[in-house]
Amino acid sequence: MQGLVIKNTGNSYLVRTADNGDVLCKAKGSFRLKGIRSTSPVVVGDRVAISVNGDGSAFITEIGDRKNYIVRRASNLSKHSHILAANVDLTLLFVTPRFPETSTVFIDRFLVTAEAYRVPICLVFNKMDLFDAEDLEYIDGLVALYTSIGYPCLKISVAENTGIDAVRELIKGKITLFAGHSGVGKSSLINSLQGNASQKVGKISDYHHKGMHTTTFSEMLELNGGGFVIDTPGIKGFGVIDMQKNEFSHYFPEIFRFSAACHYNNCLHINEPGCAVREAVEKHYISESRYTSYLNILEDVDEDKYRYRYR
């Protein structure tokens, strides 16, 4: 029997079958013998084969090939990966300059992984109703920057119901991953899109101005207007994994474009002579914040650096 994994509860998985029935399954232990160095070998969005026993217990016996996925370094297991979801048509990365703060380092790390694993992405700037003139100017600068690179951006306010129709149209008929820090409004937007309050919504810590976790496990939700949304737990940090140093520049589109003119084919764009990328940064053809993020990833040898310093 074939099905789609719609929820991961840690040690079991809810699988929706072709007849729209939901079956709670365990993963067969053999998956862990196939070299899958992940916190979970099965993730939301996976197409799987399942077998149901006479006693009603069910097991996932096979995982279909993935067209893409979003993966990060696991928080406490540096040599393991944590796959947020697989087989997505689009990812919406939620960004807020405050309440809570989303740093450009976090944004760029996420974008690098999306580029590496061929996941289309759109940046969603939420809570536009909360920001002062300085914040709004900063957001406009980020929108101009990322749009110029090729990443679409949306500005919305779930609280004031502005921009919601644009999101609804963008994700219609797609499997869309919602990602970002806790408290950026992922669950609130889902409730707004669905016209109900089924997703728990968290408050922002008054002391730290950080979001508090409300979504515990990834879950795929069917939208009234067609398509699915994958709601994910809030992410504090985003560590890249399974990439070599000479690959990172390939996933910064503007850096990769200028790197073709570098004197050395293996230029890492740090201090090599004849580096066209550093020249482009000096001439402001490449954003200094993006170049800083690139260097930050290159220097990311401390397994906990990304989690604590840049959250």
Domain CATH code at residue 125? 3.40.50.300
Structure tokens at 259: 């790197």
Q: What is the mean pLDDT of the chain?
A: 85
Same domain, 93 and 208: yes
- 75 and 194 inside one domain: yes
Residue 66 pLDDT = 93
pLDDT in tens, 275-305: 999 999 999 999 999 999 999 988 875 444 4
Structural domain range at position 295: 245-308
The answer to whether residues 79 and 59 belong to one domain is no
**Model pLDDT for residues 119-134, shown as the tens digit of each residue:** 999 999 999 999 999 9
What distance in Å separates the CA atoms of residue 147 and residue 176, rounded to the nearest whole number? 20
Domain end marker among 170, 205, 231: 231
Dihedral sign for Cα 263, 273, 306, 231, please.
negative
238 lies in some domain: no
Q: What is the pLDDT of residues 54-67, one digit of tens each?
A: 888 999 999 999 99
CB atoms under 10 Å from CB of 231, counted, come to 23
pLDDT one-digit tens code per residue, 176-227: 999 999 899 999 999 999 876 454 555 544 434 444 444 457 899 999 888 9
99 inside domain = yes
- pLDDT score of 243 more than 80: no
Residue 291 lies in a domain: yes
Task: State the CATH number of the domain containing residue 44.
Answer: 2.40.50.140
Higher pLDDT, 57 or 238: 57
Among 219, 190, 216, 205, residue whose Cα is nearest residue 124: 190
Q: How confident is the model at residue 32 (pLDDT cuts 50, 70, 90)?
A: low
Asked whether residue 220 falls in the same domain as residue 252, the answer is no
Does residue 152 lie in a domain region?
A: yes
Distance CA 220, CA 85 (A): 9
Domain boundary among 40, 63, 86: 63
* Residues 279 and 170 grouped into a single domain: no
Do 75 and 220 fall into the same domain? yes
Between 225 and 311, residue with greater pLDDT: 225
Q: Which of 164, 198, 231 is the last residue of a domain?
A: 231
Domain assignment present for residue 108? The answer is yes
Torsion of CA 148, 258, 285, 283, to 10 degrees: 180
CATH code for the domain of 296 = 1.10.40.50
User: Is residue 237 situated within a structural domain?
Assistant: no
pLDDT of residue 56: 84
Asked if 258 and 213 sit in the same domain, the reply is: no
* pLDDT for the residue 27: 86
**Residue 236 within a domain:** no
- The length of the chain in residues reads 311
- Render pLDDT for 89-117 as a digit per residue (tens, 0 to 9): 999 999 999 889 999 999 999 999 999 99
Give domain status of residue 239, yes or no: no
54 with 79, same domain: the answer is no
CB 175 within 8 A of CB 67: no
Q: Are residues 87 and 139 in the same domain?
A: yes
Average pLDDT of span 19-31: 82
- Asked whether residue 119 falls in the same domain as residue 212, the answer is yes
Cβ(27)–Cβ(13) under 8 Å? Answer: yes
Residues 128 and 17 in one domain: no
DSSP string over the chain = -EEEEEEE-SS-EEEEETTS-EEEEEE-GGGGGTT--BS-SS-TT-EEEEEE-TTS-EEEEEEPPPS-EEEEE-SS-TTSEEEEEES-SEEEEEE-SSSS---HHHHHHHHHHHHHTT--EEEEE--GGG--HHHHHHHHHHHHHHHHHT--EEE-BTTTTBSHHHHHHHHTTSEEEEE-STTSSHHHHHHHHHTS--S--PPBPTTT--B-----S-EEEE-TTSSEEEE----S-----S--GGGGGGGSHHHHHHHTT-SSTT--SSS-TT-HHHHHHHTTSS-HHHHHHHHHHHT--STTHHHHTT-
**Same-domain check for residues 281 and 156:** no
Total structural domains in the chain? 3
